[in-house]
Structure 1
Amino acid sequence: MKIDRETHKSEAQVVLFINGQFPEKMPLLANFEKVYCTDGAYTKLLKNGIQPDLVSGDFDSLSVSEVNAETKIVETPDQNATDFEKILKIIIEEGFKSVAVYGCSGLEQDHFLGNLNSMLRHKDEIEIRCFDDFGFYFFAENYIEIIDFQDEIISLFPFPEAKNIYSEGVKYPLNGENLSITTRIGTRNTITGNIAEIRFSSGNLLLFVQSLNN
């Protein structure tokens, strides 16, 4: 897996807005095919001048009658899953392979933790990358190259653990260490080279890359 500053914002097929905190500067990513949103994000999206192609949810925070006629409505009343989880399933079932998410974090933090759980559950089915005012974050594959983010902050957060981690091109490299949420995590490192390489043998690793212009 490679993430290049010049191209990573043009890789998503779907741009998805959910009901967290939207970034102050929210340019749409390039070359996307669709804009989707959950019902809780719909009104905020319109205020930002963005008309979604599809809105989905249980419509407890938005009436179906409030949705513009050109927007497709998919009602998902199942209370055993979050609106983010349900719309991810829709995107996967439609055959898309990548999604960029705005509004995954911020506001109510229990929602943020639930969103991370949904990302983890579907990380092998679709590439999910979330954007906020501070950069972007995602669950890493077992080998990843991050290109042209020199001097940016990178954090490695085990979810709940990741084993046998090697990292190069960072200020504090790892050499086969394990990270665990209960013992040691890898936050606030710095990318020192043009290419930062990270690989690990097992577990789940959530990567945060600080990039104020994403």
Structure 2
Amino acid sequence: MHIHRDDYKFESEVVLFINGQFPQKIPQLTHFQKIYCTDGAYKSLKAKGIQPDVVSGDFDSIAITEISSEVKIIETPDQNATDFEKALRLIIEDGFKSVSVFGCSGLEQDHFLGNLTSMLKHKNEIEIRCFDDFGFYFFAENETVIEGFKNETLSLYPFPDAKQVTSEGVKYPLYKEDLNIISRIGTRNTITQKTARVSFDEGNLLLFIQDQLKNS
């Protein structure tokens, strides 16, 4: 996996808005092939003058009659999965391999934790990057190169374990060390080089990258 500051927002094929904290700034959506949103996020998009291509969910947050007739509506009433997970399934079924997600965090934090679980469940089927007003986060591949984020904060969060973690180009590097959600995590490090690298052998590792330029 290669993350470059110049184009990391636009490497995803599609964008998905869900019902968390709506971001203050969003990228130019013309870069994406399709705009998806859950029913709970539709009103926020509409208030910004943005019309999605697809709205999905159980429609407990908005009546179907309130949605533009030009938008494709997909009802997903299954209560055994969140609207976010069901939207991910639709995007995967539509053949896409990458998605940028806005509204994954903020507001009710139990939703955020559930969203992380949905990301983990589908991380081998689709590349998921979540953005908020502080930066972005994603489940890393076993080898991840981060370019162009010098002086930004990098956090490594095992979910729940990551084995033999190595990090380079940061203030406090690691060399083949095990991280665990209880005994040791790797938050609030600083990227010190133009290019940083993170690798691990086994487990699941969330990377959080701050992006101060995003709001400048």
How high is the TM-score relative to the length of structure 1?
0.98
RMSD across aligned C-alpha pairs, in angstroms? 0.9
Distance 2:109 2:207 in 1: 18
Q: Does 1:193 align with 2:214?
A: no
Distance 1:4 1:184 in 2: 28
In structure 2, the residue matched to 1:106 is 106
- SS of 1:9 mapped into structure 2: coil
Q: Structure 2 CA distance, aligned partners of 1:173 and 1:8?
A: 23
Matched with 1:80 is 80
Q: Distance in 1 between matches of 2:62 and 2:179?
A: 42
Cα deviations by residue, 1:136-155 (Å, 9 ceiling, x for unpaired): 00000000000010000000
- CA deviations 1:54-101 (Å, max 9, x no partner) are 000000111111110100000000000000000000000000011000
Q: Which residue of 2 is the match for residue 160 of structure 1?
A: 160
C-alpha distance in 1, partners of 2:29/2:19? 18
1:84 and 1:124 map into 2 onto residues whose CA distance is: 16
Deviation at 1:168, TM superposition (A): 0.5
Distance 2:90 2:28 in 1: 21
- In the comparison of the two structures, how many residue pairs are matched? 214
The 5-angstrom pairing of residues 60-75 of structure 1 reads 60-75=60-75
Q: What's the offset of the Cα at 1:28?
A: 3.2
Contact 2:17 2:36 in 1 (8 A): yes
- DSSP-derived class of the 2:31 partner: coil
**Percent of residue pairs bearing the same amino acid type:** 66
- TM-score, normalising length: structure 2: 0.97
Residue 35 of structure 2: aligned partner: 35
* 2:33 paired with 1:11: no
148-157 or 19-28, larger mean C-alpha shift: 19-28
Structure 1 CA distance for aligned equivalents of residues 42 and 27 of structure 2: 17
Q: Distance in 2 between matches of 1:181 and 1:9?
A: 28
Asked if 1:44 corresponds to 2:35, the answer is no
Distance 2:12 2:26 in 1: 15
Unaligned runs of 5+ in 2: none
Instruction: Give the deviation of 1:10 after TM superposition.
Output: 1.5
Alpha-carbon offset, residue 30 of structure 1: 5.5
Equivalent positions of 1:96-135 (< 5 A) are: 96-135=96-135
Q: Is the 8 A contact 2:99 2:127 kept in 1?
A: yes
- Structure-2 separation of matches of 1:212 and 1:12: 21
SS at match of 2:129: strand
Output the CA distance in 2 between the equivalents of 1:28 and 1:126: 22
Q: Cα deviation per residue 1:145-177 (whole Å; 9 max; x = unaligned)?
A: 000100000000000010000110000000111
